[in-house]
Amino acid sequence: MEKETALALTAFTERYCDAWQKSYGTWPQSEALYGVPSPCILSSTESLVTWRPQPFSPSQNVNAIERALEIVIQPALNAFYTTQFAGDMPARFSGESLTLLQTWSADDFLRVQENLIGHLVTQKRLKLSPTLFIATLESEIEVISLCNLSGEVVKERLGTKQRSVLASSLTDFLNRLEPVL
């Protein structure tokens, strides 16, 4: 499952970067990531950073999450967060606009793990089944997550049991994503 997820993420990232090249003649650019160190940075202007995805270099995985909460994480999530360093990428899934989250650097990877642990602790406290976020939505109270029990990708309302299945797997979800510039 990890290999399929990594391939699907890489394929989506290529579609995203190709769309930037076709529309703007450049690699993706971001104002939000300006001034934040990353191996992805190709160049910077006064307010923009131009980036290109890079292979994930640390020999890290999401084991810190597993150790902190004494659970086993879906292998697809490990592949999702450790395949590459890249900027977050706007996308669309079945008409739903979202921002696919990525790790920008080794430091960012540690921050993401801390946020995932906090998310899981809150769910445990509320007696909700465990999910791990992979994308944000316009609404701050909803996210796209990987269900740690089933491996399905779900849209969930934070702090509630409200969830709807979007895809049977993370690979399927990534393969159906459309880049948005």
Domains located in the chain, CATH noted: 2-24+55-179 (3.40.1580.20)
Count other Cβ atoms within 10 Å, centred on residue 139: 10
Burial string for 25-64 (b: 16+ CB within 10 Å, else e) reads eebbbbeebeeeebebbeeeeeeebbbbbeebeeebbbee
Q: What is the pLDDT of residues 34-78, one digit of tens each?
A: 999 999 999 999 999 999 999 997 667 788 888 888 899 999 999
- From residue 137, how far is each of 3, 81, 128, 165 by CA, in Å? 26, 18, 20, 15
Contact criterion met (CB below 8 Å) for 71 and 129: no
Considering the chain, what percentage of its residues have pLDDT values greater than 70? 98
Q: What is the pLDDT of residues 109-130, one digit of tens each?
A: 999 999 999 999 999 999 999 9
Q: Which secondary structure element, helix H or strand E, spans residue 33, and what is its range?
A: none
pTM of the complete model? 0.94
